[in-house]
């Protein structure tokens, strides 16, 4: 009986004195990680996303966010692994575009183009997907296709494509 009272008292103390700043669930770790990433604290964000994955290894968003942070560090191979896991868990998100960028950064242009194709198929109104597809096409020396993609991106409101259209395309 005494043992139960001691344990109960310890639990009350623990719950009472735990810092409210400590995340207590996956969503809290994700939110903290996003905030740290946005402020440039990539190491802290990586720690939070790792903890979220530890708590819920089936959380597609946690892998996507961790992939973004790894890419910020220049770990494109690691980000591809995380983006791929995110896609395995939930293929409806915008992770294909992120993985495509990482693949292009590692020199896997064919893989990047395939990922951008899927991103465009999933959301044909995404100007950024067309822009990125155009960048991969330009890197593959298919300037004609790149210009088509950049023009489509521009039509969809992606303003970053304008300078590439002016530089590389006959207008």
CB-based burial label for 26 (10 Å; 0-12, 13-18, 19+): middle
- State the pLDDT confidence band at 6, using cuts at 50, 70 and 90: very low
* Token digits of residue 27: 């969503």
Contacts of 97 (CB under 8 A, 6+ apart): 115, 116, 119, 126, 128, 129, 132
- Write the pLDDT tens digit of every residue in 28-41: 999 999 999 999 99
- Write the pLDDT tens digit of every residue in 48-102: 999 999 999 999 999 999 999 999 999 999 999 999 999 999 998 789 999 999 9
- Write the pLDDT tens digit of every residue in 100-143: 999 999 999 999 999 999 999 999 999 999 999 999 999 999 99
Domains in the chain (CATH in brackets) are 25-93 (1.25.40.10), 109-171 (1.25.40)
């Amino acid at each position: 009986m005494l043992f139960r009272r001691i344990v109960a008292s310890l639990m009350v103390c623990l719950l009472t004195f735990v810092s409210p700043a400590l995340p207590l669930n996956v969503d809290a770790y994700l939110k903290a990680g996003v905030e740290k990433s946005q402020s440039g604290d990539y190491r802290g964000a990586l720690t939070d996303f790792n903890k979220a994955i530890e708590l819920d290894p089936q959380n597609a968003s946690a892998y996507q966010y961790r992939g973004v942070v790894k890419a910020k560090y220049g770990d494109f191979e690691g980000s591809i692994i995380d983006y791929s896991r995110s896609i395995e868990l939930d293929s409806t998100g915008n992770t294909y575009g992120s993985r495509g960028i990482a693949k292009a950064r590692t020199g896997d242009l064919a893989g990047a183009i395939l990922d951008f194709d899927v991103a465009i198929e999933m959301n044909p109104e995404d100007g950024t997907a067309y822009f990125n597809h155009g960048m991969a096409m330009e890197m593959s020396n298919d300037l004609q296709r790149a210009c088509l993609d950049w023009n489509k991106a521009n039509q969809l409101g992606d303003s970053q494509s304008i300078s590439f259209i002016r530089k590389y395309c006959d207008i």
